[in-house]
Structure 1
Amino acid sequence: MPISPQLHADVERKLTQSREDLLGAVRARVYGDDPAIGPGAHTAQNEDRPQAEMISHNEEHLADHESALLHEIDAALGRLESGGYGICVECGREIAEQRLLATPTVQTCIECQERLEKKQMRATGRPPQI
């Protein structure tokens, strides 16, 4: 069963706003007055080089995270447009509306998510990283 028109509109608005906010943050970091990513972005004349490398590494990690988030948002928008939004990719059941509103990029129902997390815990001995 497709999601309601109201839920569709709410989720689309949330996803679109999240995408715009994320792109704005990325643009500011990369193209702003003081870019945080780029060669020598954190190396001043008398700065501690290991600290500068650590900051650069953290910025690159953040950029990777933001890229993955953009991909998740775009994928959710694609599912929304194609009619597949709100259907668990694991079991094919509907995902609860509250879950979709809380995390619009979610792809699994709560039961499947818990099962996936338990499986990962058994395999790695660690909880999943969010």
Structure 2
Amino acid sequence: MGSTHAGKGAYTAEESKPYHDKLRLLRARLVGDTNHLAESALNRTRSEAAGDLSKMPIHMADIGSDNYEQEFSLNLLAAEQDTLVEIDSALARIESGEYGACVECGHRIKKSRLNAIPFTHYCIDCASERDQEARG
């Protein structure tokens, strides 16, 4: 992803500060969420969550629900882990003075896009082009 264009559209340290703060808050919230999701997905069954620690068999539908909820939580956890990686990458770009420059074309990413997705690597044009390529 390292582009020769990286610095030309970058935001100054002062321009990046609000995004730095927003990214730190978002990261802290996601870390808390991922810890909670991991705990609920990996460590607790329905009966434990309800406080029933007996070994009494439960209905098969409850087992299916437990499996679905665990899989759903694990999928959310994976997505949030990916977002944490993106946030850490954005924070590193702020530190290196490259934040706000599209890693593809080097142009400045609009503030409206950064307000919506503060960890984005791409301007809207390059992101759209990448989405079209991914769809085939």
Matches within 5 A, 1:15-54: 15-30=23-38, 35-39=39-43, 41-44=44-47, 45-47=57-59, 48-54=62-68
Please, which runs of 5 or more residues in structure 2 have no aligned partner? Answer: 1-7, 48-56
Q: SS of the residue aligned with 2:31?
A: helix
TM-score normalized with structure 1 length: 0.80
Where has structure 1 moved over 4 Å in runs of 4 or more? none
Question: Residue in 2 aligned with 1:97?
Answer: 111
Distance 2:106 2:13 in 1: 20
Aligned positions, number: 117
Counterpart contact for 2:90–2:119, Cα < 8 Å: yes
Question: How many Å apart are 1:90 and its aligned residue?
Answer: 1.2
Question: Residue in 2 aligned with 1:10?
Answer: 18
Counterpart contact for 2:11–2:98, Cα < 8 Å: no
Matches within 5 A, 1:63-78: 63-78=77-92
Question: Residue in 1 aligned with 2:5?
Answer: none
Identity %: 28
Distance 1:27 1:64 in 2: 12
Counterpart contact for 1:95–1:109, Cα < 8 Å: yes
Distance 2:17 2:111 in 1: 13
Q: SS of the residue aligned with 2:122?
A: coil
Question: How many Å apart are 1:26 and its aligned residue?
Answer: 2.1
Distance 1:5 1:85 in 2: 9
Q: SS of the residue aligned with 1:37?
A: helix
Larger radius of gyration: 2
RMSD in angstroms over aligned alpha carbons?
1.8
TM-score normalized with structure 2 length: 0.76
Range with greater deviation from structure 2 (46-55 or 62-71): 46-55
CA offsets 1:15-42 (integer angstroms, 9 cap, x no match):
0000011112223344xxxx41215x23
Question: How many Å apart are 1:61 and its aligned residue?
Answer: 0.5
